[in-house]
């Protein structure tokens, strides 16, 4: 058993918080994946922060896997339909950049991110849509760009084979006192009820450090999860990919996705 560990919202806008989260993981012997945003809210272009990019490159040298995490990480210029609003309800404060995008729009944004990363010397293994919200078009866009891994808040997807690995995720929200208390309680519940999940994830956000309750909960949960289970690289999941039906796969299938539930996977 192991745990997939990541730091979201890696951007110069959150520099001190991201570095603290990185330290918390490293002090516990773990190397988290880094979810890097090319231009946070249109105001923090990575291109203008060479020292910060160098910090990220050094972490990659330390073994951190790099993910592309949106382009701007907001919904500016992207009106929601009522259906999008329903889907995003309670899940994000207008940060679902990929929530409304079809294949072509997702392909273009991801493409610009990959061009930038190549310029900056960063090699991403995959893509994570902000707030874990996207449509099928983002899945096909990732596959078309050759990105190996995509995740949302219920699963990790291996794009080459369309494999879906069911994967609960521990995350916090410290936006209000109420949410902070709720997420600390949920963290304790996940330990009791999901510590046997084969693809368990812990997703750290810079904001987690801003509220004393979520900050303490992050520290407590990192302590017990990382003592019990080593952090695992996303790349280590790639051999778990199940071939698509017709190529010898035996998973259940919906919309071209092969589902691997915890019961049938190792």
The residue (of 8 and 211) whose beta carbon lies closer to Zn ion is: 8
Task: Choose one: 9-17, 25-33, 52-60, 238-246; the region binding Zn ion (CB under 5 A).
Answer: 9-17
- Which CB atom, from 8 or from 139, has the smaller least distance to Zn ion? 8
Stretch that binds Zn ion, among 111-119, 129-137, 146-154, 159-167 (CB under 5 A): 129-137
* Other Cβ atoms within 10 Å of 251 Cβ, number: 19
Choose the stretch contacting Zn ion; rule: CB under 5 A; options: 1-9, 85-93, 154-162, 238-246.
Answer: 1-9
251 binds Zn ion (CB under 5 A): no
- 196: burial class by Cβ within 10 Å (0-12, 13-18, 19+)? exposed
Q: Is 8 in the site for Zn ion (CB under 5 A)?
A: yes
Among 5-13, 145-153, 177-185, 226-234, the segment contacting Zn ion (CB under 5 A): 5-13
Q: Using the rule CB under 5 A, which residue among 6, 9, 53, 231 binds Zn ion?
A: 9
Closest CA to 58 of 133, 142, 122: 122
Cβ of residue 239: shortest distance to Zn ion, in angstroms?
A: 28
How deeply is 79 buried, as exposed, middle or buried, from its count of CB atoms within 10 A (0-12, 13-18, 19+)? exposed
**Site for Zn ion contains 130 (CB under 5 A):** yes
**DSSP H stretches of helix in the chain:** 15-27, 50-61, 82-88, 103-120, 136-144, 177-194, 212-228
Burial (Cβ within 10 Å: 0-12, 13-18, ≥19) of residue 34: buried
Which residues contact Zn ion (rule: CB under 5 A)?
A: 8-9, 130
């Amino acid at each position: 058993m192991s745990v997939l560990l990541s730091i979201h919202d890696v951007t110069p806008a959150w520099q001190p918080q991201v570095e603290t989260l990185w330290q918390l993981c490293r002090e516990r012997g773990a190397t988290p994946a880094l979810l890097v945003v090319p231009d946070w809210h249109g105001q923090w272009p990575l291109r203008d922060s060479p020292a910060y990019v160098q910090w990220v490159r050094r972490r990659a040298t330390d073994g951190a896997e790099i993910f592309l995490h949106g382009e701007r990480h907001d919904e500016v210029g992207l009106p929601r339909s009522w259906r999008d609003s329903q889907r995003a309800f309670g899940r994000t404060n207008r940060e679902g950049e990929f929530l409304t995008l079809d294949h072509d729009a997702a392909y273009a944004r991801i493409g610009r991110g990959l061009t930038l990363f190549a310029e900056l010397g960063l090699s991403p293994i995959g893509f994570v849509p902000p707030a874990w919200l996207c449509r099928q078009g983002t899945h096909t866009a990732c596959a078309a760009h050759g990105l190996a891994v995509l995740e949302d808040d219920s699963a990790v997807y291996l794009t080459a084979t369309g494999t879906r690995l069911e994967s609960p995720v521990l995350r916090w929200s410290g936006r209000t006192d109420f949410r902070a208390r709720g997420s600390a309680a949920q963290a304790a519940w996940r330990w009791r009820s999901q510590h046997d999940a084969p693809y368990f994830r812990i997703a750290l956000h810079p904001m987690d450090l801003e509220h004393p309750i979520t900050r303490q909960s992050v520290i407590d949960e990192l302590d017990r999860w990382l003592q019990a289970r080593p952090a695992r690289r996303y790349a280590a999941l790639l051999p778990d990919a199940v071939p698509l039906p017709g190529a010898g796969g035996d998973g259940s299938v919906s919309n071209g996705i092969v589902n691997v539930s915890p019961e049938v996977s190792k």
